[in-house]
Amino acid sequence: MEFKDLDPILHSQLRLAVMSLLISVKEAEFTFIKEKTNATAGNLSVQINKLKEAGYIEVAKQFKDNYPQTTCKITPVGVKAFEDYVNNLQSYLGVKK
């Protein structure tokens, strides 16, 4: 089955995992996302950057107790994109709502 209409930004394993994590929390640290997705720091950084460029997430970098801390938060655009993605996926799969 082809998924031509599915958002290509979200239809990637790691980016979808990041968005699924962020949809249910207020905000999460990079280390938390890395642990939950089992991704490497480098790959995760690249994918987070893609989501940020698409306007789906906000990334805040700050220092806490002299350590760099990167926090990610889903944006309203990201929430809408995620909802559309799930709706499209459900209609492709014929899932009844």
Provide the minimum distance between the beta carbon of 92 and another protein in the complex, in angstroms, as a whole number: 5
> In the complex with another protein, which residue's Cβ is closer, 6 or 54?
6
Q: Which is nearer to another protein, 36 or 77 (CB)?
A: 36
Containing H/E element for 72? strand 67-74
Mask: binding to another protein, 47-76, rule CB under 8 A, as x and -? Answer: -----------------xx---x-------
Assess contact for 6 and 85: CB atoms under 8 A: yes
d(CA 11, CA 17) in angstroms, rounded, equals 10
Nearest to 53 by CA among 8, 5, 88: 8
Backbone angles phi, psi at 73, to 5 degrees: -145, 140
Give the nearest distance from C-beta 27 to another protein in angstroms: 5
Tokens 């999460």, located at residue: 28
Footprint of another protein on this chain (CB under 8 A)?
Answer: 1, 3, 11-14, 16-17, 20-21, 23-29, 31-32, 36-39, 43, 64-65, 69, 86, 89-90, 92-93, 95
